[in-house]
Every structure is written in C-alpha cells, then in structure tokens.
C-alpha cells in the first residue's frame, strides 16, 4: 500500500473510521502518520486523559519534554499496532486506549523509582497502625505501639529484600497487583509474598 501517496485527510479518515483494515496494512499507515506528525494531537489528548495535569506531570513527575513524550508515544503506537483486532473499534480509539494505559504505567514506574530510592530499614520507624494490626492482635495504644515498633525493628532482618520492599510498598498505599508489578513477580504471587513476609515477622517475634 502506497501510504505516502495518500492525503492527510485520507490517512486520518482511515484511522478515525475504518474498523476492518488489517494490522499488516495499518503498520504502514501508522508510520506514515508519525512522519507527518498526525498522531501528535491524539497523543496529547491521551496524555491529558491519563494525567490530571499533563504539563506538571511531564515536568516534575516524568521529567521529560513534550517532544520526548511524543517520541515515546510514537514507539508505543508502532508496537501495539500488531495487536489491533479488526472489527472491534477504530484505530484511533484503539491507539488512545493503549496510550492512556502506557502513560499511566510510566507515571507509576516513575513514582515507584522515587519510592525505591527512599526505601530502607529506617522506614520501619514510620510504619503505621495498619502494619501493626497485621502483626499483633493486642490493641494498639501509645505504649504498645512503641514496643511493637521495637519488636519489628529487631525482626526486620529475617526478611529478604523483596519481602521488605513489598511490605513497605503496601504501607504506602499500593494495591497488591501494583506491588507485584513493581517488585517483578506475577500479580498472582503478590498476596502470597506479603502473607509469607508477615508470617516470618510473626514467627520471629513470637506474635
């Protein structure tokens, strides 16, 4: 297919309305649209759907320029074209969905890296009541909280690094499937890993 001979309007019309074009043909279409920067407005739209404030997220969260952001999106568009299923939705709708998912993951990964850099044994001191209620059955009061923290600190060494990180990520509010993704295990194993880590601490502390 000689996509380079098509007008911008023809390319956009196929992307906006055609549900039956095969992935093998669409790859050429997608590449030609990238060359002509026809995806750029769609990319920025997807970015605004993914982030509450696109400009702020790019500058302070992802630390990248608009040009870098668009370049990453171009690569993602070419990558996901192979998975496009004809007859379900238009290429434009499919690309927007894929980009929103990609952009949200980029933000989660950036936040995870920041947290990873700050995770260490000192974080045990900031564990909240949620952590203590998972380990201790006794009511948590001021005196008990101090004792519990001392017991946790003294037992922390029995955990593997991956178990420590899983617990600390949970304390920061991440869901189990997110924790599994961040520490590099299958999402089905996130809950098992956490349960085993807590069990180790309870056994070490005799809780």
40 and 97 belong to one structural domain: yes
What does pTM read for this prediction?
A: 0.59
Residue 39 has pLDDT above 70, yes or no: yes
As a whole number of angstroms, the distance between CA 130 and CA 198 comes to 12
How many percent of the chain have pLDDT more than 90? 39
Q: Does some domain include residue 114?
A: no
Residue 137 contacts by C-beta under 8 Å, 6 or more apart in sequence?
Answer: 207
20 and 61 belong to one structural domain: yes
Q: Which of 87, 107, 127 is the last residue of a domain?
A: 107
Q: Does some domain include residue 38?
A: yes
As a whole number of angstroms, the distance between CA 98 and CA 143 comes to 51
Q: What is the pLDDT of residue 164?
A: 85
Contact (Cβ atoms closer than 8 angstroms) between residue 207 and residue 136: yes
54 and 77 belong to one structural domain: yes
Q: pLDDT tens for residues 90-138?
A: 999 999 999 999 999 999 888 877 666 555 545 555 555 556 666 665 5
Q: Where are the alpha helices (DSSP H) in 119-207?
A: 129-135, 142-155, 161-171, 176-183, 190-205
How confident is the model over 162-182, as a mean pLDDT? 82
Q: Cβ of 156: how many Cβ atoms within 10 Å? A: 17
What is residue 196's three-state secondary structure? Answer: helix
Q: Which of 107, 127, 148 is the last residue of a domain?
A: 107
Domain range for 7: 3-107
Q: Count how many domains the chain has.
A: 2
Q: Does some domain include residue 138?
A: yes
């Amino acid at each position: 297919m000689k996509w380079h001979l098509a007008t911008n309007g023809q390319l956009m019309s196929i992307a906006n309305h055609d549900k039956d074009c095969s992935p093998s043909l669409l790859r050429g279409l997608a590449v030609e649209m990238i060359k002509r920067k026809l995806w750029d407005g769609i990319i920025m739209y997807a970015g605004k759907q993914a982030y509450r404030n696109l400009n702020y997220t790019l500058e302070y969260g992802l630390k990248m320029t608009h040009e870098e952001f668009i370049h990453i999106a171009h690569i993602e568009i070419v990558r996901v074209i192979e998975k496009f299923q004809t007859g379900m939705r238009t290429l434009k709708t499919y690309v927007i969905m894929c980009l929103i998912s990609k952009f949200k993951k980029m933000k989660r990964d950036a936040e995870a890296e920041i947290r990873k850099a700050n995770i260490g044994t000192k974080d045990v001191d900031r564990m909240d009541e949620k952590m203590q209620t998972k380990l201790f059955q006794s009511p948590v009061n001021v005196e008990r909280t101090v004792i519990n923290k001392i017991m946790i600190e003294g037992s922390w060494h029995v955990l593997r690094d991956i178990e420590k990180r899983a617990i600390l990520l949970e304390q920061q509010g991440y869901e189990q499937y997110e924790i599994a993704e961040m520490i590099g295990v299958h999402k089905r194993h996130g809950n098992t890993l956490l349960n085993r880590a807590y069990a180790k601490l309870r056994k070490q502390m005799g809780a």
